[in-house]
Structure formats: C-alpha cells, structure tokens
Amino acid sequence: MSLRIEPVTAAAIAQRIQMLLGDHSAESLASAAVRLGVSERSLRWSIDPITPHQSVALLLAVVHEYGVDPAWLLTGDYDSATHRSTADADRRTIAEILRRTALRTPPHSAPPMHLVLDDDEQVTGEHHT
C-alpha cells in the first residue's frame, strides 16, 4: 500500500517531519534514518523543500518512533482517538489508520489525498470546505 499525496499536503507533512527531527545536519539525518529503519535517501526525500515525497514505510516509522498522531502527521489536526489507537498498535494497524485518515474529510480546506492500494486500485478521499 502506498499513499499518493498532493504536493501542498506533502510539503505540510514535510514541515511536520522536520519539526520532529529537529537538527537537519547530514549526521543527524543519517542517525535519524537508522533510528527510523528507513534509508537516508527516503528520509531526505520526505523533507525535501521543493518536492517532498513520503512513503508509507516512512510515515509508519515516524508514527511509531515519535509516537505522534497519524491524523496530525497527515493533516496537521490532532485527533486524540487516532492517537490513542496507535499507542500499542502494530505497523499493519497504523497503516490502516493512515489509510482511513487519508480518506477522511477534515473540517478545513485541503487538497485531495490519493491512496493507491497494492493491486493498483485507487481510492480518492476528496477534502471539502
């Protein structure tokens, strides 16, 4: 499963990941990538200032390692219910929560998020004002 996230949303997610990471030095990013269990390249792409791209594996690792709410990571809006549900969840459960969050309609205007399932079936969650 992978999330295809529109550029504006990806940039906002990148900013939230950068906040969590703190120091963006090469040494710090390499250390963070090891801690997250992702490649340094994937981590760098996730916070790229021009065209950020986040993989599901990276989003899962950030949620798991930093203990953040998946809804906040994707939308910027904190949801105590999703946060609580990921406290002791495995990666498969967190991936499902990310998928549901990507399909949910937030109360504010945001670009659409696209979820691409393993079998290439695409589901679109349109966000409305």
Domain segments of the chain as ranges: 2-125
120 by Cβ neighbours in 10 Å (0-12 / 13-18 / 19+) ranks as exposed
| Percent above pLDDT 70 for the chain | 74
Answer whether 97's CB lies under 8 Å from 70's CB: yes
Report the pLDDT value the prediction gives residue 21, as an integer from 0 to 100.
93
**Mean pLDDT confidence for 13-39:** 91
User: What one-letter code names the amino acid at 125?
Assistant: G
User: How far apart are alpha carbons 110 and 124 in whole angstroms?
Assistant: 13
Residue-averaged pLDDT of the chain: 78
Report the pLDDT value the prediction gives residue 43, as an integer from 0 to 100.
95
User: How far apart are alpha carbons 39 and 27 in whole angstroms?
Assistant: 13
pLDDT digits (tens, 9 = 90+) for 47-101: 998 989 898 899 999 999 999 999 899 988 888 988 998 888 888 898 888 888 8
